[in-house]
Chain A
Amino acid sequence: MADDMTQSKANIPDRLRKIRPVIIALWLSLLFLPFAGIKASVILFIVLGTGTVLMKAIRMALSKSNALDSAASLSCRIGTLPCSRTLRRVVFLFLIPFLFIAPFISSNYFIDVAVLSGIYIILALGLNVVVGFAGLLNLGFVAFYAIGAYSYALLNTMFGLGFWSALPVSVGLTTLSGFLLAIPALRLRGDYLAIVTLGFGEIVRLVLNNWDSVTKGPNGISGIEPPSILNVSLCNLSYYYYFVLVAVMFSVFITNRVYASGIGRAWVAIREDETASSAIGINTTMYKLYAFAFGAFWAGFAGAVFAGKMQFVSPESFTFIESVLILSMVILGGLGSIPGIILGAAILVLLPEVLREVQLYRMLALGCGLVALMIFRPQGLFGGKNVSFRS
């Protein structure tokens, strides 16, 4: 009798499970109904329904033929491929010369996009120091970028300083602001730190937006001089491309060296286990401070390069979404992996350019992509080696 009861109880979910994809599709399209209207919801229902049914069928077929295992092992192999030395050498061998001759063989538009991705690579490398190496989530990274860009812009337009004399000042200022934020903020852990950095980012943006007498408010600062080398102004796009290329190589080299040094080791130790690393004599607060300041250093550098390229800065370029975008680059590439981050930054800058027709859906896709990435491949494209994020 009791057996019968459990049997019949178990049967109902069983029957439900068969039509589960349909129920899910129906549920989701119902949620979309008030916003998207009836027509779009019906289309969504059909698309989702067939999609989930197809997915299920494919999964069933795969599990029958045991193909799932081989697919999994294949994806594993793809995951480890880029780590192999020979492949990296081959890539370098082809990529570096290509990058140097790129301006001669491609359009101005491409170079423009390449310059932009270069700036983002520097930013992502900087954020990677904080998030990937030291394991501190910084959601207000764009604030340092803004400080770098604005300090160069102001030094140039108000005091007439050239790029090379203004650069140390603006980078120094940014690093200092990183220090100043970190000193109080590092007492907090994990997500609290994330929120404080986010608040800092918002405060900086609000100040830039409202301090009209200095920052000119929402109108921004225009007429910034581009940098010049040996009295040659880099207003030509391909000159600037080479300048950014060298800057990127410089930052890759330096971050790589720092990562391999004692400081880098200490960061990784803190990321993996803070208590244990302080027990073996690492001054955790000090090293976290270094990470914050070092990350801010690159953001300031990238900011100055950005201001020199655009010859114009406004608060619009430094919103929260920009912080998220840089964080997405780091996560997509793989926390802590320098080649991964270069790839991640390049992908996230290039993709919207390639998909210009569907540009409206760009952010929608970014949102979905972040969720999917976290669920299916949280270690990113290249990561996974020794990275276990804790906060």
Chain B
Amino acid sequence: MFLQQVVNGLTLGSVYALIALGYTMVYGILELINFAHGEIYMVGAYLGIIFLGIFTAAGLTSYSLSLTLVLTFLLSVIFCSAYGFTIEKIAYKPLRNAPRLSPLISAIGVSIFLQNYVMLTQGATDKVFPQLFPLSAFEVFSIRITYMQLFILITSGVVMLLLRFFVRKTKMGKAIQAVAQDKTMASLVGINIDTIISVTFIIGSGLAAVAGLMVAMYYGLVNYSIGYIAGIKAFTAAVLGGIGSIRGAMFGGMLLGLVESLGASYISGEYKDAFAFILLIIILLIKPGGLFGKSV
């Protein structure tokens, strides 16, 4: 039972970690809590349903399932990145030198807009995500792991490794680190800050899209309001690990997933959502810097 909940928690946690990475990267660079990030995740989940529907109608799903899956992921990621890019240009860029409250409120505005835009165009009721993976599972030491869970764990692991490689080794990634450390200095050595900020939003939104798609496949249901709670939880994960730290976001996501899953099964299922908030408040009060401190 305990180990079973650990596996469930890790699955959930890896999704939180993916969303948290977007928060942490944006915060590391702009010191902005990107409230709209949770909505990007929701948009990603919806895009998955929409594209999958188109592919199924075109007969691609019956032709090759894996090709459909790859194309759906790719298209959702591209579209979500475009959303992130556009949101930054419209709602955050004009406010870069404004008082810190302004972009935060602007972000809340974007979040409300996206939620209602999806609700108006896609309806307020739950949407069903078609079952792609067999529901079957395999057992290791009497722990039941579904193929879907395995898929989520592997995908998020690979994505996080790729991100780590990108930030550590590539020129662009190093530029992102430089901007996070000191914007003025980075621009003095010839880094285009605007480009870096755009890239950050694009990567963060892409990660959120992957998370959204995987959650939609996992639960099989999508609603326009899932973004808000998921966003807050992912933010909690980011703070837990130390906002601004990529390693921290990954770790924080996993930890939050574990706490939630264990808390729901051992303490109370009704207050499942409250655990994240209580954890957030406790951490901010005891160790506001998070577990891994600040550094992108």
Contacts and interface: CB of A to CB of B under 8 A. Distances in A.
Interface residues of A, number: 51
A194 B27 CA distance: 15
B112 A374 contact: no
Given A194-B33, A374-B102, A36 B108 contact: no
B188 interface: no
Contacts, number: 144
A44 to B, nearest CB: 11
B102 A202 contact: no
B123 to A, nearest CB: 11
B228 interface: yes
Given A370-B105, A389-B101, A375 B278 contact: no
B118 A210 contact: no
B106 A370 contact: yes
B187 interface: no
Interface string A316-349: 0000110010010001000000000000000000
A195 B112 CA distance: 17
A371 B35 CA distance: 12
Contact of B113 (A321, A367, A389): A367
Given A27-B86, A202-B232, A34 B79 contact: yes
Given A35-B118, A371-B91, A210 B271 contact: yes
B271 A367 contact: no
Interface stretch (A222-230, A253-261, A356-364): A356-364
B284 to A, nearest CB: 6
A14 interface: no
Given A35-B46, A371-B106, A196 B101 contact: no
B5 to A, nearest CB: 21
B291 to A, nearest CB: 16
Contacts of B226: none
A385 interface: no
A200 B235 CA distance: 15
A319 B237 CA distance: 22
A378 B105 CA distance: 10
Contact of B95 (A199, A360, A375): A375
A367 B90 contact: no
A366 B112 contact: yes
B121 interface: yes
Given A195-B235, A374-B98, A31 B281 contact: no
A58 interface: no
Interface string B198-213: 0000000000000000
Interface in A202-219: 202-203, 206-207, 210
Given A35-B122, A36-B121, A331-B105, A203 B50 contact: no
Interface of A: 27-28, 30-31, 34-37, 40, 137, 184-185, 187-188, 190-192, 194-196, 198-200, 202-203, 206-207, 210, 320-321, 324, 327, 331, 360-361, 363-364, 366-371, 373-375, 378, 388-391
Given A207-B274, A370-B105, 17 more contacts: A35-B118, A35-B121, A184-B285, A185-B285, A191-B100, A195-B284, A198-B232, A202-B277, A203-B277, A363-B115, A370-B112, A371-B106, A371-B113, A374-B95, A374-B98, A375-B106, A378-B98
Interface of B: 31-33, 46-47, 50-51, 79, 82-83, 86, 90-91, 94-95, 98-106, 108-118, 120-122, 228, 232, 235-236, 239, 270-271, 273-274, 277-278, 280-281, 284-285, 288
